[in-house]
Structure 1
């Protein structure tokens, strides 16, 4: 069962911008595209941990503000030639409200 957390109104997130949600597992950046699609990623670039929430959103990607790594918003994967991945979280909009689901991770034993 997926548990959804209400983030707020879609209009609270600027177009081509983001909002940071503080969670027990770390900060999650919730992004809004020009077409009002929403995506959520851990707020850490896979390169050197830069704050993706402060990056430039373009199409369905974000460019890290530190070293210009480009990250796919849907998957968290770096765009070639860059390598790496940040965790993506399910996000959706219903009736103008943004919802976020935080995936539970189990530490390796």
Structure 2
């Protein structure tokens, strides 16, 4: 059974933008696309730990503000290079609210 955590209203995250959510299990960057899709990833780029939440969201990707590495919001993989991965977290929108999978977050915190 999934334990969804209500973290914010969808409108709290701007379209093509992001917000950092501090949870008891660490910080998660939550991204909103122009189509109102929501994705959650670790906030650190695998290259030089740039803050992905401060990057530019385009399509279903975010570009790191430090060195322009593009990260897939769907998979967390670095686009265009063979190395690097960002952890992703299950997220969804329900009744205008953004929810994160709490069971998944807790399992990641223990690992």
TM-score normalized with structure 2 length: 0.90
Q: Shift in Å at residue 3 of structure 1? A: 1.6
Contact 1:18 1:30 in 2 (8 A): yes
The residue aligned with 1:78 is 78
Matching residue of 1:32: 32
Q: 2:20 matched to which residue of 1?
A: 20
Q: Counterparts of 1:51 and 1:57 in 2: how far apart (Å)?
A: 13
Where do 1:45-64 residues align within 5 Å?
45-64=45-64
How many equivalent pairs are there?
107
Q: Which structure has more helix as a fraction of its residues? A: 2
Give the TM-score taking structure 1 as reference length: 0.91
Query: Structure 1, unaligned stretches of length 5 or more?
Result: none
Q: What secondary structure is seen at the aligned counterpart in 1 of 2:30?
A: strand
Alignment gaps of 5+ in structure 2: none
Q: Deviations over 1:53-95 (max 9, x none)?
A: 0000000000000111100001110002252001000000011
